[in-house]
């Protein structure tokens, strides 16, 4: 290759410095691509290892109504966590007896209501006894 021709090709950015030589733009694109790929895998890995917020479900008495059967107690169940619950058991203490309510498929940040009959004259209280996360 003549010296003049090489100088013209160098000015145009067309000079090949030998086998395996990559232009600067290709090297930068390669480095950026590898960095983005590593960051993506790191992000996915971090989220795979992180545990969601497992706030415990809560139950409360919404209302009590006297009826012929006794006291009809409406119970509200709240799931403030970031994961759904496939099953929740709520114990309703009716004084001398305890009733149980089963709630199925309670979504994250969701609520459900249920009603039980307690004996007349009772002052019901509630508590969540067990739950199974999805």
Q: Do residue 88 and residue 106 come from a single domain?
A: yes
Domain that holds residue 99: 58-133
Q: Do residue 81 and residue 126 come from a single domain?
A: yes
Residue 87: its pLDDT value, please? 95
| Average pLDDT per consecutive 10 residues, the chain (134 residues; last block may be shorter) | 62 61 84 96 87 82 89 94 92 93 94 94 94 89
How many structural domains does the chain have? 2
Please list, residue by residue across 21-31, b when 16 or more beta carbons sit within 10 angstroms of its beta carbon and e when fewer do. eeeeeeeeeee
Q: How far apart are CA 108 and CA 85, in angstroms?
A: 7
Residue 43: its pLDDT value, please? 93
Residue 12: its pLDDT value, please? 64
Q: How many helices (H) and strands (E) does the chain have?
A: 2, 6
Q: Do residue 96 and residue 37 come from a single domain?
A: no
User: CA 40 from chain center: how many Å?
Assistant: 19
Q: Do residue 62 and residue 116 come from a single domain?
A: yes
Q: How far apart are CA 21 and CA 110, in angstroms?
A: 60
H-type alpha helices, the chain: 3-12, 24-49
Q: Do residue 44 and residue 83 come from a single domain?
A: no
Q: Do residue 70 and residue 129 come from a single domain?
A: yes
Q: Do residue 32 and residue 65 come from a single domain?
A: no
Residue 69: its pLDDT value, please? 76
Q: Do residue 39 and residue 65 come from a single domain?
A: no
**CATH assignment of the domain containing 98:** 2.60.40.10
Q: Do residue 39 and residue 17 come from a single domain?
A: yes
Residue 77: its pLDDT value, please? 97
Q: Do residue 71 and residue 90 come from a single domain?
A: yes
Cβ atoms of 43 and 22 within 8 Å: the answer is no
Q: How far apart are CA 105 and CA 1, in angstroms?
A: 77
Residue 130: its pLDDT value, please? 95
Residue 11: its pLDDT value, please? 67
Q: Do residue 44 and residue 91 come from a single domain?
A: no
Q: Do residue 85 and residue 45 come from a single domain?
A: no
Cβ atoms of 128 and 77 within 8 Å: the answer is yes
């Amino acid at each position: 290759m003549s010296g003049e021709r090489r100088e013209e090709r160098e000015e145009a950015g067309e000079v090949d410095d030998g086998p395996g030589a990559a232009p600067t733009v290709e090297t930068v694109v390669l480095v950026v691509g590898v960095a983005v790929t590593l960051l993506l895998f790191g992000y996915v890995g971090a989220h795979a290892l992180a545990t969601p917020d497992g706030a415990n479900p809560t139950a409360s008495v919404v209302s009590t109504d006297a009826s012929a059967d006794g006291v009809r107690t409406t119970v509200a169940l709240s799931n403030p966590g970031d994961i759904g619950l496939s099953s929740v058991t709520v114990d309703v203490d009716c004084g001398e007896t305890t009733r149980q309510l089963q709630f199925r498929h309670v979504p994250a940040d969701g609520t459900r209501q249920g009603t039980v009959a307690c004996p007349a004259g009772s002052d019901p209280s509630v508590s969540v006894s067990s739950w199974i996360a999805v």
